[in-house]
Structure 1
Amino acid sequence: MNEENKSKQEIIDTEVALGTVHPAALEPYRVRLFVEDEIVKDAEITIGVNHRGIERIMEGLPVEKANALTEKICGICSNAHIWNSVLTAEKGLEIEIPERASYIRVIMEELERLHSHLLYLGHGSEVLAHETFSMRAFSIRETVMELLRMIGGNRVQYGVSIIGGVRPRCELDDSRIRKIAEGMDLIEKNVANFADRFVSDPIVMNRITGVGQISAKDAKKLEVTGPSLRATGVHQDLRETMKEYEPFDFNVITLNDGDVKDNILMRVLEIPESISIIRQAIKNLPKGSIVDRSWEMKDTGIIHSHIEVPRGTLYHSYALEEGRVRGTIIRTPSMSNIGAMQLACIGNHVTDAQLCIVQCDPCFTCTDRAIEIINK
């Protein structure tokens, strides 16, 4: 470029606002993209549109009712929330649940992981504007949703975990076990077919490779969690430290590029591991009771519980006072991952920004629970 053309060159520096409703977003949130010549130089994500204040509503509720309320936090991770809330109470009350109940809880959580990962693949394909892949992912997911409905009675909120074990209506008889096994065979076959078609599509792979890249150093600095962290090469999965998962063999999947491609492949590669855990659980399902009702209520201090859910680390804490919860705090994976979503946008074309955000599998409704009022 000669000096005359250089002097005529103009750099366009502007803000592009998306939301609070965006056609490619499942939930309301606001994104501000600060763009220079169509390249994102900075990004800001604001949530709060769907705030419901569940932590405040839980204050003073009987613990059983508070546990049930946590299922309403998220339509995708409803089992994870009630499971972790129940685990919090069981930890404080020093309850050892029956082994059979623990296996059923793991089965439900891994089914929910399949449900979540397949939803991710469907939504991600939709953002890629590839309707065929999106519909195929949602079609595979239907098998999971029907298994969840069979066990819990609903496709969204299943109410499986209760203090001391699982609900009697969620017992797994031979017929249910057989259907779960058949479902795993079908899902494994269909996901393999989906993955083969997906990675063989040069247009799709070219669009997602190298986009939204995050380094392991940045991911750890931002406290990214779950598959989005493992996609940067960091080996971290709380299931390895949870006693509920001690009876099961599974691999913790890690990739290294930390881009949209690896985030998508992470979910694809984690699906067979969940299927393997479910198969082990139904094959070795212990005999015996599924609920222990011999426990007694008592007051406790603040109890903490961390578990690995489809998007990463889920944290619940509260105290018990005369059977009622006090001081509830819930931290979801997306709260930690928002920083990664913002960082992933920087340096990419404005048309790829939504794809960079979606790669971290955001659940903003899950995160929108509490506000802090600061008096100045």
Structure 2
Amino acid sequence: MDEKLPTNNIIETEIPMGTVHPAALEPYKVRFFVEDEIIQEAEITIGVNHRGIERIMEGLPVQKANSLTEKICGICSNSHIWNSCRTAEIGLDIEIPERATYIRVIMGELERLHSHFLYLAHGCEVLAHETFSMRVFYLREIVMELLAMIGGNRVQYGCSVLGGVRPRCELDANKIQRLKDDMDKLEGGLSDFADRFVADPIVLSRITGVGVLPQKQAIKLAVTGPSLRATGIARDLRTTMFEYDNFDYNIVTQQDGDVKSNLLMRVLESFESIKIIRQAIANIPDGKLVNNDWDMVDTEDIAESYIEVPRGTLYHSYALETGRIRHCIIRTPSMANIGAMQYACIGNHLTDGQLCIVQCDPCFTCTDRAIEVIRR
């Protein structure tokens, strides 16, 4: 006769997921260590998407290297080429025409909209709510068409160049009118989605109190962007960017640091992006698009640029030698945010593990450039 097992016997189990998982748009691997289906520890491993872009950029002409940065990520390609051009412009002391600055802001906020909408649609898909997901994908399609109208492509628009923006990105009266009309469509559709979303008790019960990241822990782990603001900290680098000096907008915050707060952050920030785009098209100044009145010189000091992108703080730095890139470093916001999600998983049920990770809107392709050196 078998002896009865002790009722207080707890067995720790490792549950691996990935590198391909239906809740993730990009490949990565996560190991959950659980007791009685409650996550006690999590370990996220990336590296599948590593392509060595910073190494490839070393020695390239700066214009070609700037174009290469768009290939870092298909979701935030504009953010990378904007910041890469911005880095060279800081190093070479290039003054940007005001009209080009407004167009860069419009493209940046359109990219924020399409990124946030992708996050919301995918989040609803993870929640198994296909109707909400398709509603947001419909709104995102409007944004993608606007990006294609201005940049000529739905992905990798190639808008920013050294000294301004490409001539093909000029905004004539017809494009400006379409932007106005589509901002009205987006605001109405987003309001309808938000009203339905917060009124659904099943959805709210699934996301409230799940994946909580306390404010102190978020600061300790250097979390950035909406994931930081979801803990109540009003930090947005757009307030330090000269490109946004002429725009009025609110820095949105939430307080709970959970999945609900992260989802609401993207909804509310999308309204602010619509507000900024409306101001830009209403007040866009006349003038040229590109300043070509500058000389390519060596930059002894490494130029640095920090900007606010959909997921948080994006950092680019490099020096120029005979017009070629030297000492390139790119640091993306997801590098810190993904690590923080390991902490956010702890104490949650295994079925909510992936939800806790994707709440920070991780971009694994952007992040796959870090190398860990282990000294033995």
Task: Compute the TM-score of the two structures, normalised by the length of structure 1.
Answer: 0.97
Aligned residue for 1:326? 326
Hey, what's the Cα distance between the residues in 1 that align with 2:169 and 2:290?
11
Q: CA deviation at 1:373?
A: 5.8
Could you tell me which residue of structure 2 aligns to residue 313 of structure 1? 313
Counting aligned pairs with the same residue, the percent is 72
TM-superposed deviation, 1:371? 3.2
Any residues of structure 2 matched to 1:105-120 within 5 Å, and which? 105-120=104-119
The alpha-carbon deviation at position 296 of structure 1 amounts to: 0.5
Please report the TM-score for the alignment, with normalisation by the length of structure 2.
0.97
Counterpart check, 1:168 vs 2:160 = no
Partner of 1:78: 77
- Residue 375 of structure 1 and its aligned partner are, at CA, apart by 7.2
- Given residue 313 of structure 1, which amino acid in structure 2 is its aligned partner? T
C-alpha distance after superposition, 1:184-235 (max 9, x if no partner): 1000000000011111111000000000011111100000000000000011
1:154-177 residue CA offsets vs partner (Å, 9 max, x unmatched): 101000000010000000000000
Match of 2:271 in 1: 272
1:12 CA displacement: 2.5
Please list, as runs of the form range in 1=range in 2, the aligned pairs for 1:328-367 lying within 5 A after superposition.
Answer: 328-367=328-367
Residue equivalent to 1:121: 120
SS state of the match for residue 251, structure 1?
Answer: coil
SS in 1 for 2:249: coil
In the TM superposition, what whole-angstrom CA distance separates every residue of 1:310-336 from its partner, at most 9, and x where no partner exists? 000000000000000011100000001
Structure 2 partner of 1:142:
141
Q: What amino acid does structure 1 have at the position aligned with 2:317?
A: S
Secondary structure of 1:19's counterpart equals: strand
Cα separation, 1, equivalents of 2:370 and 2:271: 36
**Alignment match, 1:152:** 151
In 2, are the aligned partners of 1:237 and 1:308 still within 8 Å (CA)? yes
Q: Which SS does the other structure have where 2:19 is aligned?
A: coil
State the match for 1:54 in structure 2.
53
Contact 1:52 / 1:370 at 8 angstroms: preserved in 2? Answer: no
Distance (whole Å) between structure 1 residues aligned to residue 343 and residue 219 of structure 2: 13
CA distance in 2: counterparts of 1:372 and 1:209, whole angstroms: 35
* 1:54–1:370 contact (8 Å) kept in structure 2: no
Work out the CA distance in 1 between the residues paired with 2:356 and 2:374.
32
Segments ≥4 residues shifted beyond 2 Å: 5-10, 369-376
**Shift of residue 8, structure 1, vs aligned partner:** 2.4
Q: Deviations over 1:119-149 (max 9, x none)?
A: 0001101111111111111111000000000
The amino acid of 1:309's aligned partner reads V
Distance 1:201-1:362 versus aligned 2 partners, 3 A rule: same
Structure 2 runs not aligned, ≥5 long: none
Query: Which residue of the partner structure matches residue 295 of structure 1?
Result: 294
Unmatched segments (≥5 aa) in structure 1 = none
User: 1:164, 1:291 within 8 Å by CA — same for their partners in 2?
Assistant: yes
Measured against aligned partners, the alpha-carbon deviations of 1:326-369 in whole angstroms (never above 9, x if no partner) come to: 11100000001122211110000000000000100000011113
Partner in structure 1 of residue 371 of structure 2: 371
Residues 225 and 313 in structure 1, CA contact (< 8 A), matched pair in contact too: yes
Instruction: Determine helix, strand or coil for the equivalent of 1:8.
Output: coil
Mapped partners of 1:50, 1:356: distance in 2: 22
Secondary structure of 1:327's partner? strand
- Name the count of aligned residue pairs: 372
Aligned partner of 1:20: which letter?
A: T
Q: Distance in 2 between matches of 1:144 and 1:66?
A: 27
> Structure 2 CA distance, aligned partners of 1:20 and 1:6?
36
RMSD (Å), alpha carbons = 1.2
2:252 and 2:263 map into 1 onto residues whose CA distance is 12
The aligned residue for residue 229 of structure 2 is 230
